[in-house]
Amino acid sequence: MSKSRRSERMVVITRLLTQRPRNLFSLNYFSESFSAAKSTISEDLTIMRDACHKWGLGEVVTIPGAAGGVKFVPKQNRRETEELIEYLQQEIARGDRILPGGYLYMADLSYNPQMISRVGQLFATIFSDLKPDYIVTVETKGIPLALMTANAFNVPLVIIRANNKVTEGSAVSINYVSGSTQRIQSMSLARRAIPANAKVIIIDDFMKAGGTARGMHDLLAEFNAQVLATGVMVATSEPQEKLVANYVSILDLISVDTVGKQIEVAPGSWY
Amino acid sequence: MSKSRRSERMVVITRLLTQRPRNLFSLNYFSESFSAAKSTISEDLTIMRDACHKWGLGEVVTIPGAAGGVKFVPKQNRRETEELIEYLQQEIARGDRILPGGYLYMADLSYNPQMISRVGQLFATIFSDLKPDYIVTVETKGIPLALMTANAFNVPLVIIRANNKVTEGSAVSINYVSGSTQRIQSMSLARRAIPANAKVIIIDDFMKAGGTARGMHDLLAEFNAQVLATGVMVATSEPQEKLVANYVSILDLISVDTVGKQIEVAPGSWY
């Protein structure tokens, strides 16, 4: 086996495993693709495992036996996480985000694929001990983040709609009180979207009083779903009492000074 | 330089370049990270380029000069594309997708991150000669696909909303006639979302008469945006005359027999 041959295999194996996180590939798949002995592939995977470990890219997990294989579990290392938090903190604190009413314009962050993919990977790292069947969000702004989190977990995304749609078939709807505006709103989830007793993680972009997250919990209870965790990118520090008991926020929004155009942001409590 | 050392670098370089498609990394970045000579890194990149070329993973593009560097442009090879089309065709043709009114339930496909990521990569491959500044979609079901397309292009996603939201600031709204239901609806795009004269590609999950796509074109015209292309995952073959002139559909929905539970699907015209 020549030197370049191994290097070539490392490129192809790394690309495949990292592109499809938590997907199990059999060793046969690789040994057939490369016409290489299984022992050679095992050596390749050991090199990849060590490299991923040394550089903090994630874990290469080998599952022995006939139904076994290898999969890549992405992890964000401390340095990457620190860089991400620092970047988000600086970006969110930009005074020109302030909209009338003290709202913050955040679509440029929430809709930036490669940035939001890193936040999704951070959630998958924070919640790495959990084994969700689904990632659940409510339309619209949290969808990119929830999708990237679902991608890192290799599970389907479920999107709760504001209204029942003909393209989703029969659905369960509930009314909920938006915690901050005290308005009654409704949300709806297609019956087909999740089976009973599913384990889910709720992901959203923003939490103020937690009324929307509370509504999602209540709607999911109609499906007998078990909510393993709730994660939001940004939570406001006021009101301190949220309508959901436990949640993880990547960043906390301490204050918004609409007159002086000052925004104060701190890393969330998990940090 | 030992054999394992190069293999290790190949893992780290491949992971970084492929995870952040079309992102330019300087050779200095790698030579500093690895404490390796630039000539060594160049050799690594040549190996990666050759492997990606041979295995049809995409292109490793080196840009010379002081502002230069290296980036990875993902491409889907013919075999992967064929597998994807075949899989989608079989999946969409499943009779249990049929909902009252002849609609098809497709959320399980549209919200499957790793599957929809491959469709996004296919769009980035089909449109690889174009240089969009933004990928534009309208809420809700097309968002995952549009995000994954934006990720492959390394450009921001723009989401047109059904209603103007306080969290998006001042916005431009238009009314449009949904081509199939003939109902008047509105869509709205935040002023901040795109600058004037941007080049965009429109991506959506489904097209029937093209009324929504027409509305998106009209709304984008208010921003003087140049629509380079329109791509949809599934287009119905009827009506044949759509309200937008040119579009690419991955799959065409030929017929839905609601009584016999038969769905006929064919690869789109681009294929």
Q: Is the pLDDT of residue A3 over 80?
A: no
Residue that finishes a domain, picked among A46, A74, A102: A74
Do residues B29 and B96 share a domain?
no
Whether B60 and B102 map to the same domain: the answer is no
Domain shared by A21 and A155, yes or no:
no
Is residue A41 located within the same domain as residue A89?
no
Q: What is the DSSP letter of B224?
A: T
Digit-coded pLDDT (tens) for A41-62: 999 999 999 999 999 999 999 9
Is there a single domain that holds both residue B205 and residue B262? yes
Verify that A40 and A118 share a domain, yes or no: no
Task: Tell which of B33, B49, B147 to mutate to test the A interface (max A CBs under 10 Å).
Answer: B147
pLDDT of amino acid B167: 83
For residues B82 and B41, state if they share a domain: no
Condensed to tens digits (0 to 9), the pLDDT of residues A105-142 reads 999 999 999 999 999 999 999 999 999 999 999 999 99
List helix spans (H) across B25-75: 27-34, 38-54
Q: Which domain covers residue B61, as residue numbers? A: 3-74
Please tell me if residue A260 touches chain B, with a CB cutoff of 8 Å: no
Does the pLDDT value for residue A4 go beyond 70? no
Last residue of a domain, one of B74, B98, B118: B74
Q: Note the pLDDT of residue A179.
A: 65
pLDDT at A149 over 70: yes
Q: What is the pLDDT of residues A156-208, one digit of tens each?
A: 999 999 988 888 889 999 999 886 677 899 999 999 999 999 999 999 999 99
**Number of structural domains in chain B:** 2
Q: Looking at the predicted structure, is the pLDDT value of residue A2 above 50?
A: no
Q: Are A48 and A10 in contact (CB under 8 A)?
A: yes
Is any Cβ of chain B less than 8 angstroms from the Cβ of A115?
no
Residues A146 and A124 occupy one common structural domain? yes
Residues A91 and A30 in one domain: no
Query: Same domain, yes or no, for B167 and B225?
Result: yes
Identify whether residues B158 and B90 lie together within a single domain. Answer: yes
Question: What is this model's ipTM?
Answer: 0.95
- Cβ–Cβ contact B121 with A under 8 A: no
Strand ranges (E), B92-236: 134-138, 157-160, 171-177, 184-190, 199-207, 226-236
Residue A26 has pLDDT above 80, yes or no: yes
Q: Which residues of chain B have pLDDT under 70?
A: 1-4, 179-180
Q: What is the DSSP string of B159-192?
A: EEBSS--GGG-SEEEEEEE-TTT--EEEEEEETT
CATH number at residue B205: 3.40.50.2020
Angle at the Cα of A170 from the Cα atoms of A180 and A229, rounded to 5 degrees: 45
Residue A1 has pLDDT above 60, yes or no: no
Of A12, A54, A101, the CB nearest to B166: A101
Over residues A63-86, mean pLDDT: 93
Contacting A residues, span 72-111, partner chain B, CB-CB under 8 Å: 99-101, 103-108, 111
Do B225 and B124 share a structural domain? yes
